[in-house]
Amino acid sequence: MSGLQGSIAASKEEKKKRLLELQEKKRLAEQQAAKKVSETKAPRPSRPAETSINDIMRGVMTNNEAKPPPAPVITAAIVEEPAYKPVLGFSSVLAQISLKGRQKRTTKEDEAQADLPKEPKQKPGDQIARMVSKKHQAPDAKEKSKENQEEEGEDLTEKILRSSEIHEFLEKSSRIVERALGQEDPTLYTPATGDLKNIMTLYSSEYSYDKCVSSLQWSPRFNELLLTSYLSVSRSMSSELRGLICLWSLTLKNRPEYVLRCQSSVTSTTFNKFDHNLVIAGSYSGQIVVWDLRTKSHPIQRTPLMAESHTHPVYCVSIIGSQHANNIVSASNDGKVCVWSLNMFSNPTSSFELKGRVKDVGCTCMAFPDNETNLFYVGAEDGSIFQTQLHGNRLLDNNTEAFESHYGPITGLDIHPVGENIFTDLTGNLLLSSSVDWSVKLWNPKTSKNPIFSFDIYDDYIFDTKWNPVHPAVFAVAEGTGIVDLWNLNKDVEMPISRLKSSKEAINKIAWGSDGDMLATGNCNGEVKVFKVPQEFYEPTPEDWSVLENLISPN
């Protein structure tokens, strides 16, 4: 039995020796490999020898009968010391177990990290100081970022406010809001018999100051829009270069809805009745200017300054024709009449000069009958009224100056309107004329060259006269004393039915609304006043046409 135990011990000793030899050979091989690697790059610690689990268990079973082999030289990464070390020890350290964390195994990467210079350990006080400093610095960074955001927001807001898109939006939306606020109650005021009610005064210190109203016209499509042109009363030469047109709306009381400008003073203006977005005007320089209300305030077209067109102020502008074939007719105070096409403003399609028996005719006003494209009437500076044509014989009566009507320049001409479903010899034939000779006269040019009536009750200049568009016997007269007279020929042919002191300044232009219930007046102080007319002046009875026809017809 003792021999058997001795043989077992001898075999164990041989196995231990062989294991030690193998470990030593492996260690030497690893050292040689490490030396070769160190020749090419930085030295690197060798990896510890590995011991199989069988060897470990075998060592335990021997109850420490043999001494453990010497531990190999191991260069490993510094591992954090565990709070508690295990009591059980092994011959070679494979891993260290920390009760605080997970098991950490030494690898080649750990060995490489061990060779790198280590940062000094931070003390708890340093960490606390750094946290305190960050706490103090954080508000400053937040404030700076907040200030940057505010600056960027202000820059963006300023950029938006300066953009043309926001200006157009605000202008359009403000007009809509002001129009809604300015709408009156549907039960409009109806004045008593004979009274005119001033419902609105259109004036802007920015646009109307130191200016005189040179023309007035209501929109043929929108009853609330009133077109007004202005002439500067200042004598400075620079003021003559500034033309101004304001498009007023009865729903905007404090400012015009549109403002149109040009380089020369505007002497006459009119809506294009075939395109309500276009405004046509004659200027002091002799140019014909066109604006489009859908675009900016500057003209979209203008005629050139040349000998073939006007070289003197244009005081008369009208548009004639139909929806698909229309022309602009203009007349200047040197007696020249030009016909223009909107598609070609480089040259007039035709032109001619009005000549009297002795001298040239200076045109001051012009009137076309409704639905007429050839025959028209021209008022002259010498008090004559010419009946002429655009085509054919320019002057129908070459032996006379047509009608030797007034003793001073003609200030206004107006043709009797064609009534709806009314067909008489009077429609489109009666002509009213006013002059600075203190008189208003009524004509029927197709029947006589003498006036039918002459209204000589005035003691001052008469600057304008207009037929009511609805009532056949009613017309208005504008006096230099600031008085507006309303006449009804069916009731009285010697005195006006109604008189109203409209202004302290001279009233030089008047215009009826398309329904005949509104009357606008413009004075030499830039003021435009709108009056509500009594019903008797714009609601004719069926007998009014027959009464007027009996009154006008020759006996």
- Write the pLDDT tens digit of every residue in 462-508: 999 999 999 999 999 999 999 999 999 999 999 999 998 888 889 99
CATH number, residue 395: 2.130.10.10
pLDDT of 263: 87
Query: Is 551 a residue whose pLDDT tops 70?
Result: yes
Question: What confidence category does residue 129 fall into, taking pLDDT thresholds of 50, 70 and 90?
Answer: low
Question: What confidence category does residue 332 fall into, taking pLDDT thresholds of 50, 70 and 90?
Answer: very high
For residue 491, give the nearest of 536, 460, 434 by alpha carbon. 536
pLDDT of 413: 94
End of a domain among 83, 108, 133? 108
**Side chain identity at 12, as an amino acid letter?**
K
End of a domain among 70, 92, 108? 108
Q: In this structure, is residue 22 part of a structural domain?
A: no
Angle between helices 164-182 and 124-162 (to 10 degrees): 60
Kindly state whether residues 276 and 415 are assigned to the same domain: yes
Q: In this structure, is residue 1 part of a structural domain?
A: no
Q: To 5 degrees, how large is the angle CA 280–CA 246–CA 233?
A: 95
For residue 251, give the nearest of 281, 274, 294, 222 by alpha carbon. 222
Query: Is 289 a residue whose pLDDT tops 60?
Result: yes
Q: Please answer whether residues 408 and 435 qualify as being in contact, where contact means their C-beta atoms are separated by less than 8 angstroms.
A: yes
Cα distances from 422 to residues 213, 291, 357, in angstroms, run: 34, 35, 38
pLDDT of 386: 86
Q: In this structure, is residue 387 part of a structural domain?
A: yes
Kindly state whether residues 78 and 206 are assigned to the same domain: no
Q: In this structure, is residue 175 part of a structural domain?
A: no
Q: In this structure, is residue 161 part of a structural domain?
A: no
Kindly state whether residues 234 and 95 are assigned to the same domain: no
**Side chain identity at 506, as an amino acid letter?**
A
Kindly state whether residues 271 and 409 are assigned to the same domain: yes
Kindly state whether residues 447 and 543 are assigned to the same domain: yes
Burial of 103 (0-12, 13-18, 19+ CB in 10 A): exposed
- What is the token pair recorded at 398? 């070459």
Higher pLDDT, 346 or 465: 465
Kindly state whether residues 102 and 197 are assigned to the same domain: no
Q: In this structure, is residue 160 part of a structural domain?
A: no
Query: Per mean pLDDT, which range of 116-120, 310-314, 405-409, 542-546 is the poorest?
Result: 116-120
Q: Please answer whether residues 537 and 486 qualify as being in contact, where contact means their C-beta atoms are separated by less than 8 angstroms.
A: yes
Q: In this structure, is residue 383 part of a structural domain?
A: yes
Q: Name 306's Cβ contacts closer than 8 Å, sequence gap at least 6.
A: none
Most confident of 22-31, 77-86, 269-278, 536-545: 269-278
Q: In this structure, is residue 173 part of a structural domain?
A: no
Q: How far apart are CA 328 and CA 255, in angstroms?
A: 30
Residues of 534-552 as b/e, b for ≥16 C-beta within 10 angstroms?
bebbbebeeebbebbeeeb
Kindly state whether residues 61 and 195 are assigned to the same domain: no
Q: How far apart are CA 86 and CA 490, in angstroms?
A: 132
Q: Is 146 helix (H, G, I), strand (E, B) or coil?
A: helix
Neighbour count for residue 450 (Cβ, 10 Å):
12
pLDDT of 240: 47
Query: Is 109 a residue whose pLDDT tops 70?
Result: no
pLDDT of 139: 54
Q: Is 324 helix (H, G, I), strand (E, B) or coil?
A: coil
End of a domain among 108, 140, 173? 108
Kindly state whether residues 98 and 197 are assigned to the same domain: no
Query: Is 87 a residue whose pLDDT tops 80?
Result: no
Total domains in the chain come to 2
Kindly state whether residues 87 and 210 are assigned to the same domain: no
Kindly state whether residues 102 and 214 are assigned to the same domain: no
230-246 pLDDT, tens digit per residue, is 988 765 545 445 789 99
For residue 476, give the nearest of 464, 458, 492, 461 by alpha carbon. 464
Q: How far apart are CA 536 and CA 192, in angstroms?
A: 9
Query: Per mean pLDDT, which range of 83-92, 317-326, 376-385, 482-491 is the poorest?
Result: 83-92
Beta bridge partners of 413: 433
Question: What confidence category does residue 52 fall into, taking pLDDT thresholds of 50, 70 and 90?
Answer: low
Average pLDDT over residues 403-410: 84
Place of tokens 């009005």: 354
pLDDT of 217: 94
Boundaries of domain holding 376: 191-552
Kindly state whether residues 198 and 96 are assigned to the same domain: no
Kindly state whether residues 102 and 195 are assigned to the same domain: no
What is the rounded average pLDDT for all residues in the chain? Answer: 77
Q: How far apart are CA 477 and CA 467, in angstroms?
A: 9
